[in-house]
Structure 1
C-alpha cells in the first residue's frame, strides 16, 4: 500500500484514489453489485437475502398491526427476534422454491406464544386464565380473562399498585401489506388480595378471507398517586404475548 509523504494533507477520495487520514493511499474498490446480481456463485446468497427481506417485512407488518400494544411492552431486540421468528415461519412453506417462500396463513400458528418483551414473559407475569375466541363471521372476537387473585396471580414489580390487561387483534394481508387493528382493555385494577371476577374483552375487527388475524394480550403496571395512575418509568416489567391466530 502506498503512503503519502510531504506536507500536503489530503483526506477523502480523489479520482478513484482514497487518501486516508493516517497518510495511507489506496485505490477505491469497485462495486460488486453486478456480480451479486448475476454470478452463479452468489445464487444461494441472493436467495437468502430475498427471504430475509421477506421475513423482515412480515415482522414489520405484525408490529404495525399491533403497534398500540407493542409500544407498551417490547425489548430492544424485539425487531430482530420477531424477524427471526417470521423467517422460521417462512421456512415452513414447502410449496415454493428457495428464495421465493412466503408467509402462509396455515403456518402462522408458529407465532403463538411469542413474547414481545423477552425480559418479561406474559406467562411468567400473569397467571390468570386467558382464552381467545375468534369469530370471522361477525367480526367480533373475545378474550376471556379468568377469575384470579391479583396479589397471588400477577407478578408485579416493586412500586406498582395497579395493573391493566390489554388485548389487541390485528388483521394483516401479507401480500398487499394492508393492516388494521382493534384494542380493548380493563380499567386499572388494584394489586390487592381481593378475588377479581372473570371478565371478557370484546375486539371488533372484520377481516377478509385473505387476511390473517393475530391476537395479543398484555399486562402493564401503574402506581397510583393522589388519585391518578402513573405508568412505571420503565416498561421492563410489562408483558405482551401472541395468544391466538385466525
Structure 2
C-alpha cells in the first residue's frame, strides 16, 4: 500500500493498480488474488471448487423457482429476495446426504423431510410476512390445492396498510423438478373483497393440480388495493403484498 501524492485525486482501478480513499488519505495498492486457472486445477483449492459448485446449484435453484412463480411474484417481493432465497436453497442442498461434497444439490435435498422443512414457509416479501399480514388460520388440501379461510372478517383479520380499501386472495400449485428444470404453475381465481366488518369464507381452488416428477409447492398471496372512482389500484405498487410458500411435498 502506498500513498498517492498528486494534485489529481482519483478512485478506481487502472491496470493492476487500485486507487481509493482511506483514513490516511488517497491510497494506491496493487491487485491481489488467486489466478483463475490455479483455482480450477490446484488440489489446494479443492474445497473452494466444491463450495463454488454447490453455491451455483443453490443460486440456480432459487432462480428457477422465482421464474416459475413470476405471475405471483411480480408484485409481492422485496429487494433482497434473490439472496434470501439462495441462502435457503443452500440449506436445502445441505439436506442431500447421499451426494459427495461438491455435488450436493437442491433436487435431492428436497426429497428429504429436512430439505422440505427448510423451504416451507418462505416469505417472498420480507416486508410483508404472511403470518403478520393475515391474522386468520387457513387450511390447505394438498390433494386439490384448495386453500380455505373460514369466518374471515377483513377489517379484523388483516394487518391493514394505510389507504387500503380492498384485498385480494389467490393461491397456486407449482410442480417443479429441480433436476430436469421442468415446471408447471396452476392458479386459483382471484377472490377480491372490500375491507369491511362482514364475515365471509374464502375458498381458493386452482383450476388444476399439475402432475409430474419433482415437488409440489403450494402458495398463498394476499394483495391490497385502493379504490378511487370505482377503480382499484395496487397499493404502493405491491409493497404491502404477502406471498408465502405455505407447503411443499
TM-score interval, normalised by the smaller of the two chains: 0.7 to 0.9
CA distance in 2, matches of 1:62, 1:156: 29
1:172-208: CA deviations, max 9, x gaps? 1111212221112433211101111242423413221
Q: Per the alignment, in what secondary structure is the counterpart of residue 120 of structure 1?
A: coil
- State the 1:39 CA deviation: 1.0
Aligned to 2:140: 132
Given the two structures, how large is their TM-score scaled by the length of structure 2? Answer: 0.83
Aligned to 2:77: 74
Aligned to 1:222: 225
1:207-228: CA deviations, max 9, x gaps? 21x2211111010100111111
Q: Per the alignment, in what secondary structure is the counterpart of residue 234 of structure 1?
A: helix
- Root-mean-square deviation (CA, aligned residues, Å) is 2.9
Deviation beyond 4 Å, 4+ runs, structure 1: 17-20, 24-31
Q: Does 2:166 match 1:162? A: yes
Aligned to 2:10: none
Deviates further, 181-190 or 64-73? 181-190
CA distance in 1, matches of 2:93, 2:206: 31
Q: Per the alignment, in what secondary structure is the counterpart of residue 196 of structure 2?
A: coil
Greater relative CO, 1 or 2 (CA 8 Å, sep 6+): 1
CA distance in 2, matches of 1:204, 1:241: 20
1:24-46: CA deviations, max 9, x gaps? 99998897121011111111111
1:36-94: CA deviations, max 9, x gaps? 11111111111111110000011111111111111121110010000000000101111
- Contact kept, 8 Å, 1:125 with 1:156, in 2: the verdict is yes
**Which protein shows a greater Rg?**
1
Task: Identify unmatched segments of 5+ residues in structure 1.
Answer: 3-10
Alpha-carbon distance change, 53 to 196 in structure 1, aligned in 2, over 3 angstroms: same
